[in-house]
Structures are given as structure tokens and as C-alpha cells.
Structure 1
Amino acid sequence: MKSVPTIEKYMTTAPHTIGSEQSLAKAEKMMADLRIRHLPVLNAGKLVGILSDRDVKLVESFKDVNPEEVKISEAFTPDVYMVSPKAPLGEVCAEMALHKYGSVLVVDNHKLVGIFTWVDALEAFNELLDTRLKQ
């Protein structure tokens, strides 16, 4: 029986991040330019949460909100699902599905080393179908 792969095999390494004092407009531009939907948020170099495109759209939907003036610190999600790079792929995917998480931050020794999104999960699933289930 083959072993279950760990999250580090499929995570995106060196994810783009944004500082908590940056503007929502800057985050939105970064996401659009990089074609990503999640930005880990740092405060003084320390990981403090995540900002998703959904967070940006929600805040911008409020009346009289100027994205140039709103700081990331006012919009990000501080309570983030974090795992070790050695976390089993199946457990991480099960948690993501259970809680409907769009992404997981991968942390090693309190340092951000990667991000694992539902797109990464689909790529892992596709690879596993191709390599492990073909006869």
C-alpha cells in the first residue's frame, strides 16, 4: 500500500504576502495581477491571518467604502487554518471540505512556508487519479 502524501508535495511554496497596513486597493490589484485569491497577512513580519478575494468584495460592498483608505487590518481573517508541511494530504482536504476553507497556510517553526488552496487540492486529486488509480 502506498503512503499518503503530505501537503508539502502539493502546496504553493513562497506565497505572496501583504502587510496589514497596506490598503485594500493594493491587495485587490495584487490579487488581480498575480491571478490569486488569497494573501497571507503579515504584521511586522509576523503572520497574523489571511485576506481572501471574498473579504475584499465584502468590505467593498459597504456603502461609502474607499478601498484606497481601508487597511488590510480592517478586512482580513485572523483565525486561519494552519498546518505543518508534513500534514497528511487527506486530513487537510477533509478539514477544508468540512469547514469550506478556500486555503490553508503551511507553517514550519512559526514561519510561513506555503499555501495550499482548493486549486492545489484539485491538482493533487488529478495527479493521484492519474498515477495511483490507473491500472
Structure 2
Amino acid sequence: MSTPTVKDFMTEMPHTINEDLSLKKAMEMMHEYGCRHLPVLHGGKVVGILSDRDIKLVSTFSNSEELPVSEAMTEDPYSVSPDTPLKVVAEEMNKHRFGSAVVVGANNKPVGIFTVSNALEALISRL
């Protein structure tokens, strides 16, 4: 049996946003797509991740909906290649309490996202 990798369980080609998008629009996209994490791009490359928790943290500020994503995102998100062993990613996510890992291919371009939900799917498939 081969070692499972992130690409076996990731969500391929996740929805992404640009860093200058408003938080209001980002929230609308999360609701529309039913996701809690959006990779943030600049020039087609991953520069951050925006989570629903990030939005909640800045929501106490007045006019927070008009702030750009860059003001709330987590810069330099945890990123892995598609061939990273699933165990390595799960251990890092658990150790650092990350909600997701951005899966990147050549030139730091996103090819997928691996979330806690994906980790649970992997666990269920092994039971």
C-alpha cells in the first residue's frame, strides 16, 4: 500500500481571491462557495490565506467590511506540494493548529487546498 499524499484528499483548484478585494465581497464568496478558507493571490501567486476566523477578528472595527483582504489575511500561509505525505501535513496542522494548508505547484501557484474537513475524510477512508 502506498503512502497517502495530500493530492489524494485535497480539494482541487480552490476558489481564490485577490488581496485588494473587500472583506465584504470575500465573506459573500465564502458563503456562496460554502468554504471557510480562501487562498489570497498577488500576481497569480499565493501571498496569504483568509479564513472566516480572520474576518471575525477584524469585524469589531467600524467599516471593516470595506477593508481589503490584505488587512485581515494571514501572510505566508502553510503551503505544501501535492506529493507531501498526508501524515506530515496532518502533524503540522495539528501541531500549529492550522485550519488549512494551501497546496501549491510550480511557481507557488495554487492547485488545491487541504483543510481539516479533508483530513477527516482521509481518516474516515482509513477506518
Global fold match (TM > 0.5): yes
Map residues 8-87 of structure 1 onto 2, 5 A cutoff. 8-62=7-61, 64-67=62-65, 69-87=66-84
Structure 2 counterpart of 1:119:
117
Task: Give the gaps of 5 or more residues in structure 2.
Answer: none
The amino acid across from 1:7 in the alignment is: V
Work out the number of aligned pairs and report it: 126
Identity of aligned residues (%): 52
Structure 1 counterpart of 2:94:
97
Could you tell me how far apart the structure 2 residues matched to 1:31 and 1:128 are? 29
Give the superposition deviation at 1:65. Answer: 2.9
- Structure showing greater Rg: 1
Could you tell me how far apart the structure 2 residues matched to 1:11 and 1:59 are? 28
Three-state SS of the structure 2 residue aligned to 1:40 is: strand
Q: Is the 8 A contact 2:5 2:85 kept in 1?
A: yes
The amino acid across from 1:121 in the alignment is: A
Q: Stretches of 4+ moved more than 4 A in 1?
A: none
Q: Deviations over 1:58-92 (max 9, x none)?
A: 11123x2340x200011111121111100000111
Q: Is the 8 A contact 1:11 1:114 kept in 2?
A: yes
Task: Give the gaps of 5 or more residues in structure 1.
Answer: 130-135
Could you tell me how far apart the structure 2 residues matched to 1:48 and 1:10 are? 23
Q: Deviations over 1:20-46 (max 9, x none)?
A: 111000000000111100000011222
Could you tell me how far apart the structure 2 residues matched to 1:125 and 1:61 are? 36
Three-state SS of the structure 2 residue aligned to 1:49 is: strand
Give the superposition deviation at 1:47. Answer: 1.4
Could you tell me how far apart the structure 2 residues matched to 1:66 and 1:56 are? 9
Aligned-residue Cα RMSD (Å) equals 1.0
Give the superposition deviation at 1:4. Answer: 1.7
Q: Is the 8 A contact 1:82 1:106 kept in 2?
A: yes
